[in-house]
Structure 1
Amino acid sequence: MTTDTATGTASLPTGQSTTGQSGPDHQALGHRLARVLELCRSGRPEEAEEPYRALCGTPPQDAADLLSLAEAARILGHPAETVAWAEAAVRRQPDRADGWSVLALAFIAAGRTDDGYAAAAEALRRTGANGPGTNGPEAGGAGEHAAKEAAAIQAHRAQALARLRRGQLAEAAAACDAALRIADGTARPSQIQPTQTLRQAQAETLGTLALVRMLEGRAEEAEALFRRALSHRPLLPEILGNHASLLARLGRDAEALEQAEQAVALRPRLTGTLHLIGTLHHRAGQPESAIAAFHRVLAVDPGHLDTRLRLADSLRVAGHWEEAAGVCRDGLARIPNPNDPGRTPLLANLGAALQTGRDAAGALEAYREALRLSPDLPEIHNNLARLHQETGNPDAAIEELRRATAGRPANQPLPLPLRRALLSLLIAAGRTAEAEAEAFGIARTAPEDAELCFGIAALFLQGGWRDQALPYVRKAVRLAPDLPRNWIAFAEALRDAMLPGADGGMDEGLRADLLAALGRPEVEASGLSRAIAGVLMASPTLRYLAALPEDAGPALDDASRALLADGSLAGLAEDALLLAHLRAAPVCDPTLERALTRLRQVLMLALTGPGLPDRPAWRTLCAAIAEQCFLNEYVFAETDGEFQVLAVLVRAAEAALDRNEQPPAMLVALLGAYRPLYRWDRAAALQTLSWPEEIARLLDRQVAEPLAEAAIQAELPALTPISNPVSVGVRAQYEENPYPRWMNTGLLPEAVPLSRFLHALFPHAALPASPAWDTPGWDAPAVLVAGCGTGREAVWAASTLKNARVLAVDLSRRSLAYATRQSRRLGLKSIEFAQADLLELGALGRRFDVIHSVGVLHHMEDPMAGLRVLRGMMRPHGVMEIGFYSAAARRPILAARHFIAERGHPPTLDGIRHVRRDILALPEGHPARAVAHSPDFYGTSACRDLLMHVHELHVTLPWLADALAALKLEFLGFRLADPAVAALYRKRFPEDPAMTSLARWDRLEAEHPMIFGGLYQAWVRART
């Protein structure tokens, strides 16, 4: 931060005898001088400038008036003239100690530190060898004594400032202490009271000592000293400005800005404080306000280099790159020597401005000239690297950063941000071996730094290199387990990963990390299902169960007895990761599903066997399986034998209730593993009984929650009619099979402003940087989720976008009831759920800042009709996310649908089970077999949505481009589930860093048909 180190000059006493002018002319001059000082001190320097210049034409002759003229020159920002008037005063009356102290401070403000220190020493000599007061009042009048005392204080303070300029902080503090001892008045005769001049001198010295403490890093002491100084004289602008600088260093920007504004209201030409105001606005994301403040600095001091550089940066950020370049060129013109290294930062900023304006040739010339003057500036190498990357030459970008490293001593490696930039470039270029070596080198320098580990992991994830990211992100979560972003990165590194299970090799630490991740609200558990399956399948018991045939018959009886006898079931019941997974998300692995299906059979046989005790561990395991089956809507296959035994168990439970007896807890858990308990007519009776914790939890999920949803259905408002035949058919499907049944959505710990969210998603898009100032509505966006299903997207919007107000509509009341219950469970009160047909929404007359409609439009008879409705509901500055099935990526789905149609399976639970069985029996190379890799294959409603939907259409990217053009919508970019896709695009088309060419995306999809995972998720906005 810039500080104003020369905190005022010595205050000027009046009434002392001087030699020189007298009479009416002197009196008139005094009035004119007093008027100039009044204008200066009241913050009106523009009005003071003309009368000040008039005084300079006929300057006063006596010393006191010359010192007053020096004070005016200082406030008006004319350091050389301040020195000249103070020197004239000293020549006029050499014995005036206060004249020498004023001259000392003037020299220091003008940068003449040595002269200032000498003048301060002379001031101290003229106050008396031991300071004022040693000879008593008889040595002069009380006024003269007070003047000498004030002069001594200011002389010591001037010496402190001189020491400060030299970096001698301890000596500066000692000089301040000497001044404050005089100000304390221990040697002052009792009949002499402190004057206003003395009090101001004391306040200014306290302010100087506070500045010293601030520069020493002793913030608390500095804060206390500033407070003391301002309690003596609350309106000293330099002290207010320096205190603002301290507050800014402490991160208290709002207080700092208020204090700084107060200082410049009193002293408008206080350049250091004006610079601080600009800096505070700049880092608050308010570039226009920063620009205004920096212009005020340069109006006073055109040679203020730091301000010129900050002004250029703010102009560039605000989009005024040509003005930024002009500011830099003006600064270069002030340094005519072409070999002056002082030109380097201006050249670097000029290059950045031209780079922003896409003037690659001009930017390259500026950067090269900067490196000629200062070859070892890694920041300029970094800018050059970015320039090469933006112009489609990533290899040159890498070599530029390599050049920055070359020749550096081993103990002075490339700064960490630039090493990360190099790592990012290597990843984007696909240079795996070099990237891994660079990452290892970075991590080796700070192996226990969580921030560093996260940064490396994030870069690998950005390139889609999850295997390389995993070790770093695991270290990050161990070093900083409370940081949500570490767990989000952990989940991303393992999303849909197939870890080795049967072959071993999984350490217990990973198992513990996975278990911890399932308990984190920011982690979406379903994304970890495959990774967890890989770890769980290391269990010999689960592998044994998975190997059993579907209808094992006697072999299953033998297996049941063996597993009970050797304690294998108890081992599974104590597996915390298995239990947590079963409760949190559907299993998405066919081998683990097969093992759990057999396990359910084993538990059923065990319960019907003779004398089996109701052991807590087995009960816990069975209840967890029941929760899993409820989540996947009982998609697990059943045999005829199980169906028959189930009927026997139901009768046994009913008989117990008829006898007013409580059925065994194990029996209730097993019933819930085969059928949803809320559909049993005895469910209400079960709720009245006292149960162990795991059964109470099961009843809450399988009985209380569905009954609550049924009550919610009756309360939901209907906003529009639903009459379109396709809409009616789609509604019927989702009333039967609401999709998806989710438990968590990966909630962020803190909502972010819409602008920040979009900037993170699309950093190259020209989006408003400060919504509260630039874009009405973005500080509290109105959000429409059109086709919200069971509410995941609505919950995401309400919890992710700061101050969002969400309207979520859907055709299905059953889906909406699930969504409403889940949002209430999460404590979200900003979502309004209602039944409506998207086609009819335009009649509401409402407009939205954000519209979300993903996975909806392709289930309409005419997707363009729905898109037109949504386009009409966008506010002028609004954005919209739309999702369509990709024709290329849905080819396996079409193959599966043809396969299903040939076999005539209906979209019922039994039909879906048969569909899944038949598809899993296909060889791996069969076109339809690929659908088994989709997580949606592992739930009843999800599988119907995936393979047996009542109505769906597929589109191509050229169709999407035409649709956006027809509706005057601008494509911002895709939201990509896999970061590797973005890395693939950047490598294939480096000339398009914004990744906004749908034609190029179409070419990439033709080369890699599955890059979108079946669904285009595009963000768009209205064309301006």
Structure 2
Amino acid sequence: MTTDSATGTAGLPTGQSGPDHQAAAQRLAQVLELCRSGRPEEAEGPYRALCGSPPQEPAALLSLADAARILGRPADSVAWAEAAVRRQPDRAEGWSVLALAFIAAGRVDDGYAAAAEALRRTGQEETGGAAAVQAHRAQALARLRRGQLAEAAAACDTALRLADGAAQSAQPLRQAQAEALGTLALVRMLEGRAEEAEALFRRALSHRPVLPEILGNHASLLARLGHDEKALEQAEQAVALRPRLVGTLHLIGTLHHRSGQLESAIAVFHRVLAVDPGHLDARLLLADSLRVAGHWTEAVTVCRDGLALIADPDDRTRTALLANLGTALQSGGDAAGALEAYGAALRLTPDLPEVHNNLARLHQETGNPDDAIEDLRRAAAGRPLPLPLRRTLLSLLIAAGRTAEAETEAFGIARTAPDDAELCFGIAALFLQGGWRDQALPYVRKAIRLAPDMPRNWIAFVEALRDAGPPASGEGADQGLRTDLLAALGRPEVESAGLSRAIAGVLMASPVLKALAAPEEGPGDDGRTLDGKSLALLADGSLAGLAEDALLLAHLRAAPVCDPRLERALTRLRRVLMLALTGPGLPDRPSWRTLCAAIAEQCFLNEYVFAETDGEFQVLAVLVRAAEAALASGEQPPAVLVALLGAYRPLYRWERAEALQALSWPEEIARLLNRQVAEPLAEAAIQAELPELTPISHPVSVGVRAQYEENPYPRWMNTGLLPEPMPLSRFLHALFPHAALPAAPAWNAPDWEAPEVLVAGCGTGREAVWAASTLKNAKVLAVDLSRRSLAYATRQSRRLGLKTIEFAQADLLELGALGRRFDVIHSVGVLHHMEDPMAGLRVLRGMMSPHGVMEIGFYSAAARRPILAARQFIAERGHPPTLDGIRHVRRDILALPEGHPARAVIHSPDFYGTSACRDLLMHVHELHVTLHWLADALAALKLEFLGFRLADPAVAALYRKRFPEDPAMTSLARWDRLEAEHPMIFGGLYQAWVRARP
């Protein structure tokens, strides 16, 4: 052990006497008070004055050593303690303070030796006292720094035993006891004995609740246990008392980084490095936070400054900084610099999976996916790649279109852990990202079997089957898929409409439904008699058997049918049931009742878009009279009769609807009456309550309002609600990882943790519900022209228990008069129904907060070509936008030959509902735009394009493959070129996220 200081405080003056002594004592008291009250900045001046003329008494020097430790000057602390020991070498307290100073300065061996000297000076250990307790604690800390946990615990036990055996009235002893308890708690935490550590920390804090080190270490334990909010609160208490407590500051920064509050993390890590520039972990996390927040230049500087501090070129700590430097350069678009940094990191440490992963991504981004694949295979060097690199390799093979190799790699990955739901989901997600839905489906179904309660597995399941029939499979697999589809329809995070085509594909394997979908022969053409095939199906019980098909019933109740074959089958089934069940002695079997009620729910969902014959219309009149006669005579109409009526007309429009509600019904009829009577009547009441924020006088706005009062759109049942909302910053960073977006709170911007959201043109409320349920703490104002649409939206939001949405009637063009600003504005499918979309866009631009974002949607002129062909076809035939007119439109389009440009619209889900079909093909006013127009509009309004929200992940994969030089995918010129090559990639609608230019 050496007692000579190597710091600037070596050779301290011998002190002073008289008035100077009194002034020094006052300054020392001031320094200690400022340090211990958490005001070290104020203590700096008096402390520097003391350094020039320090006290000479050993006790004062030890106090000065304590102040230096609090001020984050460990070398000074050692020097003052050494000076005290030189003046009074027989005093045990001085050696204890010196031991702690050595350990704080990283001189563990010297600290252990000084602690041993302190114990020797105390004579017998049993004599106790604060000095002995602190000496044993110093030995415990030294053992702890060496990783000798058992020995550290034993030293703490000795210290505590001595403290318990001594008088408890002395304040230094109580503090020493609390510190020993805190050190033992730290040992137990590092041993993984969390419960014991928690109890010890609480005991320590009950002795001395304001010891910063103990507060900070307890915060670390809370963070390890996942109690991040409590950990952050306690850590901030600790640094309020001792602002330069580096370890606790680093914990605070880590917690902010972990929660996505990047700007807060950046500020804290800067504080860490201001105290300790060599703190590698803080430097690495600072660089990562800067990179993710889009501050790439600063991230590069932080890494390079850290590298300059490392003198040894072979120091392995350089590797982490070089890896982070490469990542920052890669994010900033400096491919050459990133390659150089990755190469240097791999020369120091060749086996670095994360660097190989980033290097492969870099090759891919620079248009060399094959080089990336080969780089990973070279990294393996004949050995199996680590799992993260195998996933990267799989992703690259998918992006390169190397299907066979990708499937082989995926199978190999899954074989390493056959019962790992996380792994199966990861493989499925990679296939979905590349647009390979068929390849993703087996893995996502396996993930569902292994983790059926994980919402993201079901969301991926919908994505794998969206708008497509199931793959060809054997009978066993088909039954399994039936089971999965039925389970999915009951999940709150599943948007049922996305499964409609897949369900239809499974259902149409039924011989009964195939027979019903086939052309009719012989009798039955007039709609008043049954043909032979229908009679046979009735006779053998096949139709009644459909009531036992749980998937069919669930689909009919949950989402509109979007398949022409299944629609034909159900249209015919409805007529067959009506004609078969309306004779004398109307049968009311449960199977007929169940089937008719489910068809009635489906017809209400699609707003009775199914075709009708004149014969059905005549029979319907007979049914209505029969039901009215029963009610007039005090009798209850047969349940199956009520179901048949609801299958042809909405029951709430019948003047006896409320009389039906007053009666007792079987479950399926009660459910039908709730949907067709109670809910519409509730919406009618809501309409009268809705506030009107602005007048509606513009002629086009008046016309659009009239359409949506007649035909609210869309009639949705669920929106795929997530179980937990996420902060706006995290949502945007996930959607646009390359965008330089702020994290909340940032740049003195409004707190994005509670964003104000405007949904301008909310329709029936699906987007408003999405915003309120997806964005954490969002407060939503949702406005629309149509009160009927708003009433539907209000009822649905109440059903879902959402209380943070305010619905109101307003014209978007007049919203500027509200004088409000919003952090998020959503207006999709609205602006193109205006006479001048730019006028509406200007209004919304004026309502953005300074750091707000906006999602806007416009019809794509290229993708709407089939719609234009259909609109021209409709105009030639003169069909009006009424229910009968829409039925005739659909009949005529379905009869067109394959290849006719107008027939392509049958692939749109909107073709399969009355209001939806009118919105799609017969809108009162709509415009289409190009990407050139969009680019000019954004430039004129000083809006920055962040990226598109894409319904199909395959489109993003296509762009990345076509333009690897633009990983952020923000070039509208390149998107225009891609759309020219693939006109349908946007599905008819551009959905662009933008923000005000910084």
**What is the TM-score with the length of structure 2 in the denominator?**
0.90
2:148 partner letter: Q
Q: Aligned-pair distance for 1:940?
A: 1.9
**Cα distance change on mapping 1:370 and 1:610 into 2, 3 Å:** same
Q: What secondary structure sits across from 2:648 in the alignment?
A: coil
Q: What secondary structure sits across from 2:827 in the alignment?
A: strand
Question: Over residues 830-883 of structure 1, what are the superposed CA-to-partner deviations in whole Å (9 max), with x where a residue is unaligned?
Answer: 444444444444455554443333223333333334334444444443333322
Q: Given the alignment, which residue of 443, 453, 477 partners 2:448?
A: 477
**Cα distance change on mapping 1:795 and 1:318 into 2, 3 Å:** closer
Q: Counterpart in 2 of 1:901?
A: 875
- Which has the larger displacement, 542-551 or 166-175? 542-551
1:111 partner letter: G
Q: Counterpart in 2 of 1:195?
A: 170
2:995 partner letter: R
Q: Given the alignment, which residue of 126, 134, 138 partners 1:154?
A: 134
**Cα distance change on mapping 1:904 and 1:169 into 2, 3 Å:** same
Q: Counterpart in 2 of 1:169?
A: 149
Q: What secondary structure sits across from 1:184 in the alignment?
A: helix
| Contact 1:501–1:538, Cα closer than 8 Å, also in 2 | no
Q: Counterpart in 2 of 1:230?
A: 205
Q: What secondary structure sits across from 2:126 in the alignment?
A: coil
Report matched runs for 1:599-678 at 5 Å: 599-609=573-583, 613-678=587-652
- CA distance in 2 between counterparts of 1:750 and 1:663 reads 46
- CA distance in 1 between counterparts of 2:276 and 2:456 reads 45
Q: Counterpart in 1 of 2:106?
A: 111
State whether structure 2 residue 500 is matched by structure 1 residue 526: no
Q: Given the alignment, which residue of 251, 264, 267 partners 2:226?
A: 251
Q: Counterpart in 2 of 1:240?
A: 215
State whether structure 2 residue 950 is matched by structure 1 residue 976: yes
**Cα distance change on mapping 1:675 and 1:99 into 2, 3 Å:** closer
- Which has the larger displacement, 83-92 or 915-924? 83-92
1:380 partner letter: V
What is the aligned-residue RMSD (CA, Å)?
A: 3.4
Q: Counterpart in 1 of 2:126?
A: 132
- Which has the larger displacement, 57-66 or 637-646? 57-66
Question: Over residues 711-762 of structure 1, what are the superposed CA-to-partner deviations in whole Å (9 max), with x where a residue is unaligned?
Answer: 4444444444544444444333333333222222222333333333333222
Q: Given the alignment, which residue of 299, 304, 317 partners 2:279?
A: 304
| Contact 2:714–2:916, Cα closer than 8 Å, also in 1 | yes
| Contact 1:100–1:119, Cα closer than 8 Å, also in 2 | yes
| Contact 1:176–1:208, Cα closer than 8 Å, also in 2 | yes
Q: Counterpart in 2 of 1:343?
A: 318
Q: Given the alignment, which residue of 808, 812, 820 partners 2:786?
A: 812
- CA distance in 2 between counterparts of 1:878 and 1:675 reads 46
Q: Counterpart in 1 of 2:989?
A: 1015
- CA distance in 2 between counterparts of 1:309 and 1:262 reads 25
Q: Aligned-pair distance for 1:288?
A: 4.7
Question: Over residues 295-331 of structure 1, what are the superposed CA-to-partner deviations in whole Å (9 max), with x where a residue is unaligned?
Answer: 4444444333333333444444555544443343333
- CA distance in 2 between counterparts of 1:682 and 1:275 reads 71
Q: Counterpart in 2 of 1:140?
A: none
| Contact 2:144–2:152, Cα closer than 8 Å, also in 1 | yes
**Cα distance change on mapping 1:119 and 1:415 into 2, 3 Å:** farther
Q: What secondary structure sits across from 2:757 in the alignment?
A: strand
Q: Counterpart in 2 of 1:445?
A: 416
Q: Counterpart in 2 of 1:536?
A: 507
**Cα distance change on mapping 1:672 and 1:502 into 2, 3 Å:** farther
Q: Aligned-pair distance for 1:151?
A: 3.7
- Which has the larger displacement, 977-986 or 966-975? 966-975
Q: Aligned-pair distance for 1:701?
A: 1.9
| Contact 2:754–2:776, Cα closer than 8 Å, also in 1 | yes
| Contact 1:504–1:538, Cα closer than 8 Å, also in 2 | no
Question: Over residues 664-696 of structure 1, what are the superposed CA-to-partner deviations in whole Å (9 max), with x where a residue is unaligned?
Answer: 111111121122222333323323322212112
Q: Counterpart in 2 of 1:16?
A: none
| Contact 2:294–2:740, Cα closer than 8 Å, also in 1 | no
**Cα distance change on mapping 1:836 and 1:235 into 2, 3 Å:** closer
- CA distance in 1 between counterparts of 2:41 and 2:839 reads 63
Q: Counterpart in 2 of 1:280?
A: 255
Question: Over residues 550-584 of structure 1, what are the superposed CA-to-partner deviations in whole Å (9 max), with x where a residue is unaligned?
Answer: 87539945444433443323321111111111111
State whether structure 2 residue 966 is matched by structure 1 residue 995: no
State whether structure 2 residue 433 is matched by structure 1 residue 462: yes
- CA distance in 2 between counterparts of 1:976 and 1:660 reads 57
State whether structure 2 residue 391 is matched by structure 1 residue 420: yes
**Cα distance change on mapping 1:310 and 1:619 into 2, 3 Å:** closer
Q: Counterpart in 1 of 2:3?
A: none
Q: Counterpart in 1 of 2:195?
A: 220
- CA distance in 2 between counterparts of 1:199 and 1:532 reads 72
| Aligned residue-pair number | 981
- CA distance in 2 between counterparts of 1:505 and 1:945 reads 41
Q: Counterpart in 2 of 1:508?
A: 479
| Contact 2:294–2:738, Cα closer than 8 Å, also in 1 | no
| Contact 2:137–2:180, Cα closer than 8 Å, also in 1 | yes
| Contact 1:502–1:543, Cα closer than 8 Å, also in 2 | no
**Cα distance change on mapping 1:344 and 1:688 into 2, 3 Å:** closer
Q: What secondary structure sits across from 1:808 in the alignment?
A: strand
Q: Give 1 or 2 for the bigger CA radius of gyration.
A: 1
**Cα distance change on mapping 1:247 and 1:923 into 2, 3 Å:** same
| Contact 2:727–2:753, Cα closer than 8 Å, also in 1 | yes
**Cα distance change on mapping 1:875 and 1:27 into 2, 3 Å:** closer
Question: Over residues 28-72 of structure 1, what are the superposed CA-to-partner deviations in whole Å (9 max), with x where a residue is unaligned?
Answer: 699479546566555565676677677777888886666556545
**Cα distance change on mapping 1:926 and 1:72 into 2, 3 Å:** closer
| Contact 1:755–1:771, Cα closer than 8 Å, also in 2 | no
Q: Counterpart in 1 of 2:164?
A: 184
- CA distance in 1 between counterparts of 2:50 and 2:979 reads 78
2:653 partner letter: R
- CA distance in 1 between counterparts of 2:34 and 2:703 reads 80
Q: What secondary structure sits across from 2:924 in the alignment?
A: coil
Q: Aligned-pair distance for 1:534?
A: 1.1
Identity across aligned pairs (percent)? 86
**Cα distance change on mapping 1:331 and 1:794 into 2, 3 Å:** closer
1:493 partner letter: A
Q: Given the alignment, which residue of 913, 917, 933 partners 2:891?
A: 917
State whether structure 2 residue 303 is matched by structure 1 residue 328: yes
Q: What secondary structure sits across from 2:509 in the alignment?
A: coil
| Contact 2:140–2:155, Cα closer than 8 Å, also in 1 | yes
- CA distance in 2 between counterparts of 1:276 and 1:24 reads 46
2:550 partner letter: A
Q: What secondary structure sits across from 1:976 in the alignment?
A: coil
Q: Counterpart in 1 of 2:912?
A: 938
Q: What secondary structure sits across from 2:852 in the alignment?
A: strand
Q: Aligned-pair distance for 1:630?
A: 1.4
**Cα distance change on mapping 1:118 and 1:595 into 2, 3 Å:** same
| Contact 2:879–2:889, Cα closer than 8 Å, also in 1 | yes
Q: Counterpart in 2 of 1:355?
A: 330
Q: What secondary structure sits across from 1:673 in the alignment?
A: helix
- CA distance in 2 between counterparts of 1:985 and 1:713 reads 45
Q: What stretches of structure 1 of length at least 5 have no aligned partner?
A: 1-19, 134-145
- CA distance in 2 between counterparts of 1:480 and 1:521 reads 16
Q: What stretches of structure 2 of length at least 5 have no aligned partner?
A: 1-13
Report matched runs for 1:363-762 at 5 Å: 363-406=338-381, 408=383, 410=384, 413-416=385-388, 418-499=389-470, 504=475, 506-549=477-520, 552-553=523-524, 556-609=530-583, 613-762=587-736
Q: Aligned-pair distance for 1:22?
A: 12
State whether structure 2 residue 183 is matched by structure 1 residue 205: no
